[in-house]
Amino acid sequence: MEQWITDVMSHYGYLGTFLLIFIEYILHPFPSEIVLTFAGYMTTRTSMNFGIVCLIAVVAATAGSVVLYYIGLLIGEARLYRWIDKYGKYVRIKRKDLDKTTAWFEKYGHWAILLARLVPILRTLISIPAGLTRMNIFHFMLFTAIGTAIWNIFLITLGMTLGDHIHQIIQYVGVYSKIFVVIIALAILYLIYRWWRRGKKTQAN
pLDDT one digit per residue (tens) for the chain, 205 residues:
566 777 777 788 889 889 988 988 887 666 777 788 888 888 888 888 999 999 999 999 999 999 989 988 888 877 777 766 776 665 556 677 667 667 767 777 788 888 888 777 777 778 888 888 888 899 999 999 999 999 899 888 988 887 665 666 566 556 655 665 565 556 556 555 555 566 555 555 5
Q: Specify the pLDDT at position 60.
A: 95
Q: DSSP secondary structure string, 52-113? A: HHHHHHHHHHHHHHHHHHHHHHHHHHHHHHHHHHHHHHHHT--HHHHHHHHHHHHHHHHHHH
Closest of 138, 160, 174 to residue 52, by C-alpha: 160
pLDDT number for residue 72: 86
- Name the helix (H) or strand (E) containing 172: helix 166-204
What residues contact 73, with CB distance under 8 A and at least 6 apart? 131, 132, 134
Is the pTM higher than 0.85? The answer reads no
d(CA 91, CA 104): 21
The C-alpha atoms of residue 84 and residue 203 are separated, in whole angstroms, by: 19
